[in-house]
Amino acid sequence: MSMIHKFRLHGINIVVDVNSGAVHVVDNEAFDILDYYKEKNQKHVIEILSSKYDKEKLKEAYTEIQNLENEGLLYSKDDYQYNPSFTNREHVVKALCLHVAHDCNLKCKYCFASQGNFNGDAKLMDIEIGKKALEFLVQNSGNRKNLEVDFFGGEPLMNWEVVKELVDYGNKIASEKGKRFRFTITTNGVLLDDEKIDYINKYMHNVVLSLDGRKEINDKMRPTLNDKGSYDLIVPKFQKLVDGRKDKYYYVRGTFTRENIDFSRDVLHFADLGFELNSVEPVVDSEDNPYALREEDLPKVFQEYEKLALEYANRKINGDKLTFFHFVIDLNQGPCVIKRLVGCGAGTEYLAITPEGDIYPCHQFVGNEDFKLGNLLTNNIDLDKVDQFRDLHVYSKDECKKCWAKFYCSGGCHANAYNFNKDLKKPYKLGCEMQKKRIECALMIQAKIMLEGDKND
């Protein structure tokens, strides 16, 4: 089925050819012709629009659309579903989310991990479980060379010696097999000190630093165990870490809630603090929580994304290095279509391991026994459950099949789908709507930068 998506944002008309990935910036004539192009012939289309536009210009625009269609850059067909690289993809594990601590030293109000213990007992992973997890990953990684481990929690710095020992052990067993680990750590920063900062900057391929933006926003949502704000404690440590990061990846990552729908101010606050690589994520929680987002909030949220996108584009045009995760889009060397179909890989190539050695599809499912896939110590894996996750992709979800954004979002978050709809194949609607808006903003930014470049040529 061929599909295009057209939208207008900040005065720019954009057309996405969903199945080829081509993106076009069009004038008003072409934009309006596309409303009728597939249903009516050229003569009829020109007749309809001739009261609004010059007939010769309409003919030109119509011909250009025809040419793009003939070149396969508009109304192209979707023929990926039975592509052998997709249907015959290998059963490999490539990445682990290693829960080295089911405990935390903050009590963030929106925490999906119930303040770090995932509704269980507080527990730290012992080194033997950690080693078994890394061995499991190497043994099940097939011919993959690049393997990933995210040290996660709770708060992973609460089990720091185990983290360091696992990095050493992982590098040892990977090199023996001609493979390589890329380590990431996700931390709230409370326990950071000079030794940890130096180690993280030397050995961690990526580091995710949790902070919610402005002090009053952060401190309301991310209090310490004795109910004090965490901003003043954490920000100087993050600044020191980021300063020593040089060219390595990091992300300062926040959560926005109903309390700060003006979240663009938090993104720009990050930039003011020197955190050029950043992101804020919409809170995901049920509507009975006062800070949860509701459908009625969407117009304001959309407006905020659009406002941020305009500021972001202008900063980029002026050479600013601000990088907002959700506005990053690589239109020329983006991921192959197979990667876009597979998505996050939760439950198949991406798994979460608890301190007890339990295996879950990802960190968001930890604690829900229905989704436990097995345990490292008993070496048993429920392959039926793995197959259930292997079958989660844009062609197995009715709403995704029809969606213009399917090759950008890859079908969304399985855990959100389950938590809101009790159905892994029914996406979380609020998440979809925000994702689509972010993609439109990201495309607009690229278009604005291109048009600005044309002006200067």
Partner 1 sequence: MKKHIKTLTSLKESASKGCGECQT
Which positions lie near partner 1, rule CB under 8 A? 14, 19-27, 29-30, 57, 60-61, 64-65, 68, 71-73, 76, 79-80, 83, 85-86, 89-90, 92, 94-95, 144-146, 148, 182, 331-332, 335-340, 344-345, 349-350, 407, 443, 446-447, 450-451, 454
Minimum gap (Å) between residue 226 Cβ and partner 1: 38
Q: Which is nearer to partner 1, 24 or 326 (CB)?
A: 24
H-state helical runs in 318-394: 337-342, 383-390
Q: Which is nearer to partner 1, 65 or 217 (CB)?
A: 65
**What amino acid occupies position 338?**
I
Q: Which is nearer to partner 1, 340 or 436 (CB)?
A: 340
Minimum gap (Å) between residue 90 Cβ and partner 1: 7
Phi first, then psi: give them for residue 324, nearest 5 degrees: -95, 120
Minimum gap (Å) between residue 111 Cβ and partner 1: 24
DSSP 136: H
154-184 in b/e burial notation, b at 16+ Cβ within 10 A? bbbbbbbebbeebbebbbebbeeeebebbbb
Minimum gap (Å) between residue 63 Cβ and partner 1: 9
Q: Which is nearer to partner 1, 65 or 158 (CB)?
A: 65
Q: Is 74 exposed, middle or buried (0-12, 13-18, 19+ CB in 10 A)?
A: buried
**CA-closest candidate to residue 211, choices 262, 293, 273:** 273
DSSP 80: -
Q: Which is nearer to partner 1, 55 or 145 (CB)?
A: 145
> Which stretches does DSSP call E strand in 43-166?
95-99, 101-102, 123-124, 146-152
**CA-closest candidate to residue 46, choices 13, 38, 67, 36:** 36
Minimum gap (Å) between residue 22 Cβ and partner 1: 5
Place of tokens 């493979």: 179
Q: Which is nearer to partner 1, 21 or 120 (CB)?
A: 21
Q: Which is nearer to partner 1, 68 or 221 (CB)?
A: 68
Peptide linkage before 170 cis (omega within 30 of 0): no
Residue 45's H or E segment, with its range, is helix 42-49
Tokens standing for residue 320: 């600013």
Do 358 and 99 form a contact (C-beta atoms < 8 A)? no
Minimum gap (Å) between residue 265 Cβ and partner 1: 29
Q: Which is nearer to partner 1, 209 or 341 (CB)?
A: 341
Phi first, then psi: give them for residue 438, nearest 5 degrees: -65, -35
Minimum gap (Å) between residue 95 Cβ and partner 1: 4
DSSP 422: S
3-class SS at 238? helix
Q: Which is nearer to partner 1, 105 or 446 (CB)?
A: 446
Would the CA dihedral through 283, 285, 286, 290 be positive or negative? negative
**CA-closest candidate to residue 134, choices 100, 160, 89:** 100
Minimum gap (Å) between residue 19 Cβ and partner 1: 7
**What amino acid occupies position 390?**
R
Q: Which is nearer to partner 1, 81 or 119 (CB)?
A: 81
3-class SS at 9? strand
Q: How far apart are CA 290 and CA 261, in angstroms?
A: 13
Beta-ladder partners of 358: 375
Q: Which is nearer to partner 1, 85 or 421 (CB)?
A: 85
Q: Which is nearer to partner 1, 83 or 114 (CB)?
A: 83
Rg (CA), the chain: 24
Minimum gap (Å) between residue 80 Cβ and partner 1: 6
Would the CA dihedral through 198, 199, 202, 208 be positive or negative? negative
Minimum gap (Å) between residue 25 Cβ and partner 1: 5
Minimum gap (Å) between residue 240 Cβ and partner 1: 26
Minimum gap (Å) between residue 364 Cβ and partner 1: 15
